[in-house]
A = this chain, B = another copy of it.
Amino acid sequence: MEYRELDVNSVLDYLKNIKDVMSYFNGDDLSVDEIGDGNLNYVYKISSLQNPELALILKQAVPYLRCVGEDFPLSRDRMTYEIRALQKFYSIFPSFIPKIYHASEDMSLVVMEFLAKHVIMRKGLIEKTEYKNFSEHISTYLSATLFYTSSLFLNSSDKRALIDKFNGNTELCKLSEDLVFSFAFMSHETNDNENVKNNPQAKKLFSDAEFKERVLELKYKFMTQSDALLHGDLHTGSIMINEDETYVIDPEFAFVGPFGFDIGALLANLVHNYIYHSLVTNDKEFQAWLLKTIKEVLEKFSDKFLSFWQKAHTSALLVEGYLDEPALQNYKNFFIKNILRDSVGFAGCKMARRVFGVAGVEEIRGIEDKSLRAEAEAMVLKIAREFVIKHDKIDTIDEILEIIKVNSAR
């Protein structure tokens, strides 16, 4: 089918030929509302008039940046990779991915479950909601998606086929290369230059050669290390959550990259939230919950990743019988430690880029009091620097927590 841009009026016309969608609604009359407040795409909610509980989301990419307009072209191919990633991740562990009812790469659109009872995790965390099941859920999501798309599980040819499917996500990978690893640490037009101007912290960061050299190492890993299929942008705004359920959405940045990048993104965003509560709400209990959550996420990730590995006897990497059990355990422990180290390094880059880079996070850039915001930014940069400089020497999860605690004390 040839691509055409849908609008509120043409959505239903398109959907009436999609059997799976129509049978979901049992032939009810439908209404359409545009609900997207995203930057990139158009999002419509399709609801049954007879039974408003029945609702689906239709998300369509347009060949430009929606929030800016047609003058800022951005290939709609990104939806191709979002569809492929949603389908792949769903096939691995459906509990954490919205159910897909219809997808068309030609039309750059996907129709999926409407998550009515969930909030964007970043908002929930700002409002001090403790999600008791989050560490359990996200550690399963991370360990399963990363392990089952890696050379530790796949055979050599399936791994190459996976790379084939995502290698073309050039535009969004390039965006990460530029925005996460480069522009935010130098004078650049895309930065938040109102804040950069005359800011001693920006001056210090931009001339911090030691930090920037280490960032370059991590950027190189991001570009060349093909460990596993990543979400690619796993911040707390890509997670829809409530007490019972956790969904990971919006994987348009998906590509085969380093294990540590998704874990690092999540860690960075939890630390941002921790800093917010250190300075703005000063809620010690919630801070303690956040630290405990970080620890649990990393510990459970490691345990689950290793237990998936325990069950996989042959893969592209391992020929059965190659190593005896003690040596194999040793190798696996070393391997998982390296994943955690990379995660901490990537978390540092991800944190630091939110200070002066084009895209901020609500927890830091949203602080209205200027001096408090500057204080928050100093904390972000201190922790980020420690993460980046020390990441490859870290031996335990407690050392990660220690860096957060020591550098966020007022």
Residues of A within 8 A of B (CB): 151, 156-157, 159-160, 163-164, 167-168, 170-171, 173-174, 177-178, 182-183, 185-187, 207, 209-210, 212-213, 216-217, 219-220, 223-227, 316-319, 321-324, 326-327, 330-331, 334
- List B contacts of A210 (CB < 8 A): 327
Q: Is the CB of A183 within 8 A of B319?
A: yes
- List B contacts of A316 (CB < 8 A): 174, 177, 223
Q: Is the CB of A167 within 8 A of B174?
A: no
Q: Is the CB of A163 within 8 A of B173?
A: no
- List B contacts of A156 (CB < 8 A): 170, 173-174, 177, 223
- List B contacts of A213 (CB < 8 A): 323, 327, 330-331, 334
Q: Is the CB of B317 within 8 A of A220?
A: yes
Q: Is the CB of A157 within 8 A of B170?
A: yes
Copy number in the complex reads 2
Cβ-neighbour of A326 out of B167, B209, B334 (below 8 A): B209
- List B contacts of A330 (CB < 8 A): 209, 213
Shortest CB-to-CB span from A151 to chain B, Å, is: 5
**Known contacts A174-B156, A177-B156; is A319 also within 8 Å of B223 by CB?**
no
Shortest CB-to-CB span from A211 to chain B, Å, is: 10
Cβ-neighbour of A321 out of B174, B177, B187 (below 8 A): B187
Q: Is the CB of A160 within 8 A of B170?
A: yes
Report the nearest B residue to A176, measured CB to CB.
B156
Provide the bound-state CA to CA distance between A170 and B160, in Å. 7
Cβ-neighbour of A323 out of B187, B209, B327 (below 8 A): B209
Shortest CB-to-CB span from A218 to chain B, Å, is: 11
- List B contacts of A317 (CB < 8 A): 216, 219-220, 223
Interface of chain A, helix or strand or loop or mixed? helix
Q: Is the CB of A327 within 8 A of B220?
A: no
- List B contacts of A319 (CB < 8 A): 178, 182-183, 186
Q: Which 3 A-B pairs have the closest CB atoms?
A: A209-B327, A156-B174, A157-B170
Shortest CB-to-CB span from A299 to chain B, Å, is: 24
Shortest CB-to-CB span from A276 to chain B, Å, is: 29
- List B contacts of A225 (CB < 8 A): 224-226
Provide the bound-state CA to CA distance between A207 and B164, in Å. 37
Report the nearest B residue to A215, measured CB to CB.
B322
Cβ-neighbour of A168 out of B160, B177, B220, B321 (below 8 A): B160
Given contacts A164-B167, A177-B316, A224-B225, 19 further A-B contacts (CB under 8 A): A151-B223, A151-B224, A156-B174, A156-B223, A157-B170, A157-B174, A164-B168, A186-B319, A207-B324, A209-B327, A212-B327, A213-B327, A213-B330, A213-B334, A216-B322, A216-B323, A217-B331, A224-B226, A226-B226
Provide the bound-state CA to CA distance between A159 and B167, in Å. 10
- List B contacts of A151 (CB < 8 A): 220, 223-224
Interface pairs (19), CB distance under 8 Å: A157-B170, A160-B168, A163-B163, A163-B167, A164-B164, A167-B167, A174-B316, A186-B319, A209-B323, A209-B324, A209-B330, A210-B327, A212-B322, A212-B323, A213-B327, A216-B318, A225-B225, A225-B226, A226-B226
Shortest CB-to-CB span from A78 to chain B, Å, is: 14
Provide the bound-state CA to CA distance between A392 and B173, in Å. 30
- List B contacts of A207 (CB < 8 A): 324
- List B contacts of A185 (CB < 8 A): 322
Report the nearest B residue to A220, measured CB to CB.
B317
- List B contacts of A318 (CB < 8 A): 216
Report the nearest B residue to A174, measured CB to CB.
B156
Cβ-neighbour of A186 out of B159, B212, B321 (below 8 A): B321
